């Protein structure tokens, strides 16, 4: 059997004996009733556990819509027009609406990037600004010690509407929901306090109940208050296939359940070898982004097994802090010890790689220099075929293989581990 994996702007292949292939994990076959803006409009007309937005907002109120920054795949340009039309039905004027890009810990946008995110019509219709961590309102501190500091534009609004896309998040369970507020519109200090809990066993993908990071996010968000959300689910091509709108918790959970039906992949057992790719460019531009596929793959590999991570990474590691942590460590355990002592954004992904290395070897098929790859504790390979041949030699001719061509989206779960949002 020839297995194909996206790699930069091309593909990598490996010939794997049919008898070895335990599973090829792709999105589950589903009929999507609506797509794109049609799905968004339908969700606004049929909100979950909430009145329609046009019955919530009032003329003269200051409305803030918090949406994702350019590092996220949310197609805000497909969501915002319908939201603005719904607000117009409420009698809200365009000059009373502000779109805030939740930067979290990321850089600000150029004017051109803002236009790309929302579309030229929306950009000319309402005010668009970045969140500002230097100008915040303090709401208090969560029971887990996270300061709830929210950018002033969001904090002082009469109504807060949050947009987001729902996908698996390797320690917050899922993206979306209150995450637009915390960490989206918060501060680096608050984000670090929240994310420092990533090393806890309960902080994992597809987990909400008992997940300390998600529960802390929702406690913080509830302190601020969100009046309405629109959360969408995207296919592998980042197109909207489902939208849930309404109550911030109920609509979020509904979108999570839809995501589970699309991308949660029950497996009978963990495999000896897992071959995983982000699907190619632009998602494998650097190791910082490719790490997401690695973290999903860890759920499919047995202890002592091998993960073949396929990512061109033409930009190298992709984060200064990420690179500093990886290159300064003498051994992988230094990274998990360091993140426990002093959590730092960027370093947290280095620690996440170290946590995978505790259970499996990681072979990396990339454009990066071999010696450099070895220096960050990974085994360099020049092709998927070369990596597979080395792995089969290590584990034997009857080794089991799970292939994950879109590893950033699909989440393997052994049947006893399966849970619902």
Residues 66 and 17 in one domain: no
416: confidence class by pLDDT, cuts 50, 70, 90:
low
Q: Using one digit for the tens of pLDDT, what is the confidence trace for 152-172?
A: 999 999 999 999 999 999 899
pLDDT in tens, 382-395: 999 999 999 999 99
DSSP 3-state of 296 = helix
CATH of the domain at 107: 3.40.50.11440
For residues 16 and 58, membership in a common domain is answered with: no
- The answer to whether residue 249 sits within a structural domain is no
Query: What value does the mean pLDDT take over residues 182-207?
Result: 91
Same domain, 43 and 164: yes
Assigned domain for 259 exists: no
- Using CA of residue 147, residue 152, residue 156, residue 157, what is the dihedral sign? negative
Q: Are residues 274 and 174 in the same domain?
A: no
pTM above 0.75, yes or no: yes
| Same domain for 162 and 295 | no
Which residues does 342 contact at the CB level (< 8 Å), separation at least 6?
Answer: none
**Chain centre distance of CA 393:** 34
Please tell me the least confidently modeled range out of 32-41, 325-334, 341-350, 361-370: 341-350
Assign residue 311 the CATH number of its domain: 3.90.226.30
SS3 194: helix
Residue 119 lies in a domain: yes
5-19, 356-370, 404-418: segment of lowest average pLDDT: 404-418
Whether 82 and 223 share a structural domain: yes
Measured at the CA of 179, the angle between CA 286 and CA 301, to 5 degrees, comes to 50
Considering the domain architecture, whether residues 45 and 165 belong to the same structural domain is answered as yes
Q: How far apart are CA 413 and CA 418, in angstroms?
A: 6
Q: Identify whether residues 277 and 221 lie together within a single domain.
A: no
Quote the pLDDT of residue 418: 45
What is the Cα Rg of the chain in Å?
A: 22
State yes or no: pLDDT of 129 exceeds 90.
Answer: yes
Asked if the model's pLDDT at residue 321 lies above 70, the reply is yes
Q: Mean pLDDT across the stretch 36-43? A: 98
CA 401, 405, 407, 409 torsion: positive or negative?
A: negative
Beta bridge partners of 97: 63
Residues 324 and 387 in one domain: yes
Domain encompassing residue 11: 2-27+264-417
Tally of domains in the chain: 2
Is a pLDDT exceeding 80 seen at residue 188? yes
Sign of CA dihedral 300, 238, 262, 104: positive
| Residues 6+ away with beta carbon under 8 Å from 130 | 69, 100, 101, 103, 108, 109
């Amino acid at each position: 059997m020839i297995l194909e994996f996206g790699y930069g702007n091309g593909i990598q292949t490996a010939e794997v004996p049919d008898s070895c292939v335990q599973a090829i994990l792709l999105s589950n076959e589903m009929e999507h009733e609506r797509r794109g803006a049609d799905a968004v409009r339908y969700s606004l007309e049929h909100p979950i556990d909430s009145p329609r937005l046009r019955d919530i907002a009032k003329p003269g109120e200051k409305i803030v819509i918090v949406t994702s920054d350019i590092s996220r795949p949310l197609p805000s340009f497909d969501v915002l027009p319908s939201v603005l039309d719904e607000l117009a039905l409420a009698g809200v004027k365009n000059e009373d609406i502000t779109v805030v890009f939740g930067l979290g810990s990321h850089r600000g946008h150029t004017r051109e990037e803002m236009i790309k995110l929302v579309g030229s019509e929306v950009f000319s219709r309402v005010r668009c600004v970045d969140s500002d961590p230097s100008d915040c309102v303090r709401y208090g501190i969560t029971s887990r010690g996270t300061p709830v500091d929210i950018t002033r534009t969001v904090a002082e609004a009469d109504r807060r509407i949050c947009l987001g896309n729902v996908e698996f998040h390797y320690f917050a369970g899922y993206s979306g929901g209150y995450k637009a507020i915390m960490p989206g519109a918060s501060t680096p200090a608050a984000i670090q306090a929240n994310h420092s809990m990533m090393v806890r066993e309960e902080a994992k993908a597809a987990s909400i109940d008992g997940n300390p990071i998600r529960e802390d996010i929702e406690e913080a968000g509830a302190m601020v208050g969100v009046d309405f959300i629109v959360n969408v689910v995207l296919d592998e091509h980042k197109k909207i296939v489902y939208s849930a709108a309404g109550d911030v918790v109920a609509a979020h959970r509904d979108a999570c359940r839809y995501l589970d039906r699309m991308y949660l992949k029950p497996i009978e057992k963990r495999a000896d070898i897992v071959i995983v790719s982000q699907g190619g460019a632009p998602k494998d531009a650097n190791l910082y982004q490719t790490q997401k596929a690695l973290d999903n793959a860890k759920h499919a590999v047995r202890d002592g097994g091998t993960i073949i991570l396929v990512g061109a990474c033409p930009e190298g590691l992709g984060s200064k802090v990420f690179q500093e942590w990886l290159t300064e460590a003498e051994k992988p355990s230094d990274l998990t010890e360091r993140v426990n002592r002093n959590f730092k954004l960027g370093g947290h992904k280095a620690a996440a790689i170290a946590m995978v290395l505790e259970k499996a070897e990681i072979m990396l098929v990339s454009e990066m220099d071999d010696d450099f790859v070895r220096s960050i504790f990974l085994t360099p390979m020049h092709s998927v075929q070369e990596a597979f041949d080395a792995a089969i030699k290590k584990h034997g001719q009857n080794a089991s293989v799970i292939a994950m061509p879109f590893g950033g989206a699909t989440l393997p779960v052994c049947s006893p581990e399966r849970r619902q949002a």
